[in-house]
Amino acid sequence: MFVRRVFFYWQFIAVLVLPAWLLVGASLYGTGGWDVVGSFFSGLIVGFGLLVVSLLFFARKEVRTTRAVSWADVGFLTLWHGLIVAMGFSYTWAPGLAALVILVGLGVFWFAIWELVVAARKSMQAMMILVDETARGGVLPADLSPTEEPPVIVVREKPRNPDTGS
């Protein structure tokens, strides 16, 4: 649980740190000024991608309540962040690494959307069970039953007077 919580907080820190590392890495290990300019724009794109993925992970209720990402999230984030860090070191000897960072980033993005859809589907199924059982007046499962009785409002009609017809 500790590692998953660390990654929960790291994903938001990484939105600023990893693009800054690309800029620093290009200036230290790059071949010239154009590498630094290119790393600035690629850092903006990578930072935006990191932010979108982090917000998609944060949109899941179980991530927000536990303040921890899933183990699959940890694996994908480790791969993607590791490639971004490696890209900061390798401007001259591994130009294909940028393409790999983009491909893995797109994969992580679609994985985050898929996890969000699955979580929303589970939540919707639980809500439909709750609505269905409530409409039937049946017994709810223990995890869906309300904690207290809802208030009841009784409205009494005024009895009709048989003599006047009203």
The helix or strand, by DSSP H or E, that contains position 88, with its residue range, turns out to be helix 71-89
- Here the tokens at position 9 are 């907080």
Nearest residue to 26 via CA among 83, 89, 84: 89
pTM above 0.85, yes or no: no
The values of phi and psi at residue 153, to 5°, are -110, 125
pLDDT of residue 103: 94
Q: Round to whole Å and give the CA distance between 120 and 137.
A: 26
Read off the DSSP letter of residue 150.
Answer: P
Q: pLDDT of the chain along its 166 residues, tens only?
A: 899 899 999 999 999 999 998 888 888 876 677 777 878 888 899 999 999 999 999 999 889 999 999 999 999 999 999 999 998 887 666 778 888 999 999 999 999 999 999 999 998 988 888 888 777 776 555 555 555 665 666 677 776 666 665 5
pLDDT of residue 48: 95
Cβ contact 88:29 at 8 Å: yes
Nearest residue to 22 via CA among 98, 76, 96: 98
pLDDT of residue 159: 67
